[in-house]
Structure 1
């Protein structure tokens, strides 16, 4: 990408943040976010679904880790650094290492040794499941190093710092002590049981209440949660009338049946009880991938030019690599090294049958296996439509019982019910474990969560479950630990389920609640920017960046994880100071996507960063007295349930709402409305650093779109010239005076030749089809002279077009009234304009992923209300998956605001 494009993106980032959501403090020349004011610039994300965020060329999939341990010249600053403004000193904290987790079932069936188990109990796993969607983990405060020994922070010191904070706070709050999640949930449950012992979620869809009564109950409840607007659907009308309407065909009946099965949980219990998630739960567990089928005997890899007879276990792992032979992964040194080490470990237990000793990766030739896999792919593609349909149906029939479960008597869809097959770990960015072998998951590795009285599912492969639990305070159905990174994998209900919907709604309501507290919180952290306590000052500075730049909080990383950071884990090398008050961020964020941003900040923030970096090396932590857990603990004291991720969700949604409200769309066309919406979505995606690499086919698809646009303009040109031929007075009318300036004579010649070839091909196909039909009916086929006559007629038409070039006059194949020609020109003009907007929108979003913010950070009610106001079908903004995921948002009032 060019430098100009990168500069444009940086302007877009500043444009998104040019005004604080709730009027943060400002100073001359600087907006509420601490950034310089800019005039409005044009900036998914582009599903979707992309502009770069830096002022330098980069792509999300080809990013190298920023250089570390560089020698830095100590900068000379003109501003004062009096002792009065310097906080208490502190020492850098030591990072903790992570441990991998064993997979007993997999270990028994493979030769790759698994790491030692971490001893997580089912209870701990269930607690972790509840926080699976969070951007952080509540890690314990890091120990400090003193004289080469690791010691815990002195209790007295911590207490003094805490007291200092309470004394300076506007509102004195008791210290927040974090209790285990399960204990809190049991307490809530006990209170709930005391108030209503018999209260249970309904086991079937409740009958709709009369509208007036429902409204009275809502008014009496006094809930702050806005009730979604009810729109009378066809299903509702059918229930009211007492008889179902007659659907046309099976497809219609199936759709009606699915609509009737939707559980309107947001009306029955919009807030959720916060503890017990279900009363009864029945499901069929997970489906395991089929066992490995050995390759045909004639397909073998080669070593040093000779074929190798591998046993199935070693052959399967070799096949994983062979299938990726032509990908970028196979060209990566780290990927190849990790694969070869794990493969050798497998071959140690399952050596080649012919005694070949494989010791050098360079002598391995996986090409024969690769060519076999490619041939199998080609066979699948060559299958007839009926064969593909039959194969798909067979697969769906086999998986049918795993796709749903019974939750409190209701049928709900299950999300990821398929266990991931074994393979090679790919990772994202420069992950140190890419290429490592992902072991086959077996029943002995999986814990099942199910109702006490429900039948325990039988695995579809030999083996017994690791454990069976009945924890109704969590929402997962099964979990296990993968061997590469030791991460917990969970099976949850589908995105459109009631439990997921409740979780989403609570998340966005919590972000919306922040509006009532954000001004006070900003006042508090702006005050703490000058605190005498180093921990408080660092925390306030981190909060400033999380609020203004929507940064993730960041986790500690082990040595065996990708070197990605967030706000709390920034190192000195990631932040550069530039006089007088600019800060340059350059680091790898989540998924190894580079974050580059040069921003203007408050003078106090600039001074704080200078102090934090003083006497530190490049690889030292910038915020050495702040952890994600301590930051979130403080945020919880500011507002119940507040975390750094809530701030990110709030800033994304409030910015999106503001950008949409700023657009004046009165009299706008549908495409203009779509462009305005996508522009706002893009700017939020840039704010949140949601990047993607430019699709490989982008240039090709853009060229096709531009060609189609020229074709529309060519058609309009011929109609204009036909109008001029009828009456020359039309040449002077403003409506028709503008010509198609980007259509030159060379393009017209080429385009008309292409049209001529297509017309002849079309005539030949029709001639052949007609003859086939005549033969089937027992009649004589047409003579070749008939086809020749048609081709000659086509050539005559295009000879006429060639003679009309440059004359600004044209004749149509069939005569049309002037009114019809004028109407056709108007339609083509509008169509060409709309298509040009579509081209611009597609090109602007080539490096921004719009889907991530739509799914996770933008309150869907903003989109639903905006679509109602501007009369835009929700399907234009949300895919079918998102409409299913957010049913509670689809019925919101059109005047609803975040």
Structure 2
């Protein structure tokens, strides 16, 4: 054995069998739990008390390094990772601050997460804690799910029996047909009966069908009015793009069942980024105060770092600096180092002596110049770019035109990663055509690579849905060019994901019954597996996968370590770890007493920091066990099922109140979405601009309150006697608004008016120039600015005299009273929006709505309550979920 192996600490392993004596001994240590416990509900980031004296979580584990593959052959289960959130833009993903001290334990690096408020889940504050309310609600939903699963299986068994009798009857031609029993009117759990003519099809959804007599065609909702925009109505022929007949793949049950994904495939390959343009001769990196020049390949790396100086989060990160400088020096060594103005060789050896500001100043000036370009020129540049890329934007997939998603090859740059990634700052090398593999039909023309280059390989993989792929140098991961989110293939992927979650609806009661039984198993592996499934099902934990030494130290349920779990008798557990995308998961929950006991057993001595809690369980083993209940069932399906089923039950409990406005209905939907987000632990870090945004909203509210003050002063000017008739203080300046604020507000109003006039003038001039006409002269702008000048003069007089003159046509006290009512409504709306934004600052509603809640539920709500789908889905999401919008009506159920 080598010395290095001798230095490695021994990893503690749980016993294979849990003896009865150990089990009983743990019961005595745990004590008893008084009162009824309703496990399975998160305390929604409840306060972490001082009673956490059993053990304390620190980090994701640094004692023994990253988690290794648990299989004998060292294989990884990385392919099992949950990728449902990969479509989100990187800037929207949450990260942990890079400047946290590595010497501090994780719990000390950030504050304890706040407890969810009543407003956060759309309920009024009351005496009962929010955790208890959600606890009760989820318990009721789980009982309902159990009854529904049994009813569905009972109905399927009856249908199967009926089919068997029919087959037997048809085979016996000489015998009279067996009289079939009528279908039951109502099942035990209240699920409506399946229609007789529908029950013979294997392709029907799990839940009830539309009642007979209703049209089976998709019911299109009326176009929504949104300002001046018009919603384009579909033709009766349901024509798709370029006038071709729309392919409604969701109505073709055979599509996507086999392994062959396409028969013919044609495309034009990928777009490579432009070659690097060296900096002007007068722009150079300073080393120890001396301007130096470098080979273009080295300068490109320095240029990338210099361009990022405004991103302090990255460039001030020690890991980022270290990795960047290592790759930078490597390239300098390869290209002959740097040279000063006299041609003398300069060896760059210390990062601290490098000054990238000249590069940043040049890049920033270029950015500002680009921003300052006239709109017409920007439009022309975009049109030129679109024209060049047009051939790559679409492909022909089985004869149908499909939009391609990411057809551009990633440009070289400095890798950022998510959270505290160990490779942040490393140089992402330029991808060459020789690294790219093309996937295309055998009969199709292979796209030509750039001049002087060739493709790595050309494949005809009909089982793959990718068009091109290459391997990047940072994590050696493969990058794929796929179809766009609104393509048939992507839609089918989403459809199958949510249908699999609906299928789980039939088996959830058996799965829960089985793992509750195995929580007491004598076999350690079975007990660990049951505990893991419990945590995944009840608390929406991800399964977790093994990590290599060079990957971000994130964990999930199966890869939890000793320090990630704190136990507090009688049944509270604090989870504290970095989850997917390095997002901190810190949550205290109440668990079943048996689960609490099991975690104590899994953590007992000789285990210590760095050791795994579920050391006899792997993600692949867990998923293999789950597939015994239904084909394709994996741990991540539970997140989709729980989010969708919970949302369906919350929406089902709503009633159509015709007196409610669309805004009220949207709020009801968002409240339900918020509950799902909290229950599923969909959190986000508070945006850096949140405080600034809240201040702006508060300023707007104050502006409306001040406007009310001015209207009241106008009323007083018309009818001075009102001062005695109105309550005391009615005509006073609102609280929080003083003379200083008043002056600032006046200046802001005048500036706002000037900006509007200037923008309109510039826009009209750009249009005139684009049309080949002469632009308006400066004198026209001066004349238009007279309106702002008049406003400035009027406000100055108001401020000086403390008196507001009546304004507007037909000025009267009654008219001003109505204006006050309108302003009251606007203030109330703004306050609601402000409270909503504040309550949602740590709740990721979009994660639930886009990735985990079946989009058909949102469509059903939209159609049932006559709320435009635009209020829930942006244009991009409407394209992505086009299949959901067109495939269901208000009668559909999850």
Q: TM-score, normalised by structure 1?
A: 0.70
2:756 is the counterpart of 1:750: no
Three-state SS of the structure 1 residue aligned to 2:469 is strand
Taking a change above 3 Å as real, the CA distance of residues 130 and 502 of structure 1, as seen in their structure-2 partners, is farther
Of 288, 305, 309, the match for 1:304: 288
Q: What is the CA–CA distance in structure 2 between the aligned matches of 1:738 and 1:68, rounded to whole Å?
A: 63
Three-state SS of the structure 1 residue aligned to 2:499 is helix
Which residue does the alignment assign to 2:595? 605
Which residue does the alignment assign to 1:479? 469
Of 821, 824, 831, the match for 2:819: 824
Does the 8 Å CA contact 2:39/2:590 hold for their aligned counterparts?
no
Which residue does the alignment assign to 1:895? 891
Of 852, 856, 861, the match for 1:857: 852
Of 491, 505, 513, the match for 1:515: 505
Which residue does the alignment assign to 2:835? 840
Which residue does the alignment assign to 2:521? 531
Give the deviation of 1:34 after TM superposition.
5.4
Does the 8 Å CA contact 1:861/1:890 hold for their aligned counterparts?
yes
Q: What is the CA–CA distance in structure 2 between the aligned matches of 1:609 and 1:316, rounded to whole Å?
A: 52
2:656 is the counterpart of 1:630: no
Q: What is the CA–CA distance in structure 2 between the aligned matches of 1:323 and 1:762, rounded to whole Å?
A: 31
2:38 is the counterpart of 1:31: yes
Where in structure 2 are there 5+ consecutive unaligned residues?
A: 1-32, 50-56, 87-194, 211-215, 222-230, 340-344, 769-773
Which residue does the alignment assign to 2:670? 678
1:107-118 correspondence to structure 2 within 5 Å: none
Three-state SS of the structure 1 residue aligned to 2:628 is helix
Give the deviation of 1:829 after TM superposition.
2.6
Three-state SS of the structure 2 residue aligned to 1:523 is helix
1:277-426 correspondence to structure 2 within 5 Å: 277-327=261-311, 328-352=313-337, 354=339, 355-426=345-416
Which residue does the alignment assign to 1:652? 643
Three-state SS of the structure 2 residue aligned to 1:596 is strand
Q: What is the CA–CA distance in structure 2 between the aligned matches of 1:557 and 1:473, rounded to whole Å?
A: 28
Taking a change above 3 Å as real, the CA distance of residues 690 and 240 of structure 1, as seen in their structure-2 partners, is closer
Three-state SS of the structure 2 residue aligned to 1:598 is strand
Does the 8 Å CA contact 1:564/1:592 hold for their aligned counterparts?
yes
Taking a change above 3 Å as real, the CA distance of residues 844 and 802 of structure 1, as seen in their structure-2 partners, is farther
Does the 8 Å CA contact 1:65/1:430 hold for their aligned counterparts?
no
Three-state SS of the structure 2 residue aligned to 1:548 is helix
Please, which moves more after superposition, 882-891 or 293-302?
293-302
Three-state SS of the structure 2 residue aligned to 1:644 is coil
2:704 is the counterpart of 1:712: yes
Which residue does the alignment assign to 1:540? 530
Does the 8 Å CA contact 2:535/2:541 hold for their aligned counterparts?
yes
Taking a change above 3 Å as real, the CA distance of residues 674 and 240 of structure 1, as seen in their structure-2 partners, is closer
Taking a change above 3 Å as real, the CA distance of residues 333 and 896 of structure 1, as seen in their structure-2 partners, is same
1:111-510 correspondence to structure 2 within 5 Å: 133=83, 221-225=201-205, 230-232=218-220, 238-239=235-236, 257=241, 262-269=246-253, 272-327=256-311, 328-352=313-337, 354=339, 355-460=345-450, 462-510=452-500
Does the 8 Å CA contact 1:476/1:492 hold for their aligned counterparts?
yes
Taking a change above 3 Å as real, the CA distance of residues 749 and 797 of structure 1, as seen in their structure-2 partners, is closer
Three-state SS of the structure 1 residue aligned to 2:891 is coil
Which residue does the alignment assign to 2:633? 642
Give the deviation of 1:799 after TM superposition.
3.9
Give the deviation of 1:802 after TM superposition.
6.5
Which residue does the alignment assign to 1:18? none
Give the deviation of 1:511 after TM superposition.
0.5
Taking a change above 3 Å as real, the CA distance of residues 612 and 760 of structure 1, as seen in their structure-2 partners, is closer
Q: What is the CA–CA distance in structure 2 between the aligned matches of 1:733 and 1:796, rounded to whole Å?
A: 27
Does the 8 Å CA contact 1:445/1:481 hold for their aligned counterparts?
yes
- Count of paired positions: 707
Taking a change above 3 Å as real, the CA distance of residues 568 and 65 of structure 1, as seen in their structure-2 partners, is same
Please, which moves more after superposition, 298-307 or 392-401?
298-307
Give the deviation of 1:433 after TM superposition.
1.0
Taking a change above 3 Å as real, the CA distance of residues 756 and 369 of structure 1, as seen in their structure-2 partners, is closer
Please, which moves more after superposition, 495-504 or 259-268?
259-268
Taking a change above 3 Å as real, the CA distance of residues 781 and 308 of structure 1, as seen in their structure-2 partners, is closer
Give the deviation of 1:501 after TM superposition.
0.5
Please, which moves more after superposition, 701-710 or 688-697?
688-697
Where in structure 1 are there 5+ consecutive unaligned residues?
A: 1-25, 37-42, 44-51, 57-63, 72-91, 100-117, 121-126, 137-214, 245-255
Q: What is the CA–CA distance in structure 1 between the aligned matches of 2:444 and 2:785, rounded to whole Å?
A: 72
Taking a change above 3 Å as real, the CA distance of residues 396 and 606 of structure 1, as seen in their structure-2 partners, is same
Does the 8 Å CA contact 2:287/2:353 hold for their aligned counterparts?
yes
Residue deviations 1:638-683 (CA, integer Å, cap 9, x gap): 2222111100111122223334445667333333333333333334
Does the 8 Å CA contact 2:337/2:346 hold for their aligned counterparts?
yes
**CA RMSD, Structure 1 to Structure 2 (Å):** 4.3
Q: What is the CA–CA distance in structure 2 between the aligned matches of 1:619 and 1:460, rounded to whole Å?
A: 50
Does the 8 Å CA contact 2:562/2:611 hold for their aligned counterparts?
yes
Residue deviations 1:277-318 (CA, integer Å, cap 9, x gap): 111110111111111122222222122222222111111122
Give the deviation of 1:585 after TM superposition.
0.5
Three-state SS of the structure 2 residue aligned to 1:538 is helix
Residue deviations 1:501-548 (CA, integer Å, cap 9, x gap): 011011001101211111111000000000011100000000000001
Give the deviation of 1:696 after TM superposition.
2.7
Residue deviations 1:87-117 (CA, integer Å, cap 9, x gap): xxxxx98657999xxxxxxxxxxxxxxxxxx
Taking a change above 3 Å as real, the CA distance of residues 391 and 219 of structure 1, as seen in their structure-2 partners, is farther
2:544 is the counterpart of 1:560: no
Residue deviations 1:841-882 (CA, integer Å, cap 9, x gap): 122222333333222111111111112223221111111111
Give the deviation of 1:463 after TM superposition.
1.7
Q: What is the CA–CA distance in structure 1 between the aligned matches of 2:73 and 2:323, rounded to whole Å?
A: 19
Q: What is the CA–CA distance in structure 1 between the aligned matches of 2:451 and 2:846, rounded to whole Å?
A: 36
Give the deviation of 1:790 after TM superposition.
9.9
Q: What is the CA–CA distance in structure 1 between the aligned matches of 2:376 and 2:743, rounded to whole Å?
A: 40
Give the deviation of 1:325 after TM superposition.
2.6
Three-state SS of the structure 2 residue aligned to 1:532 is coil
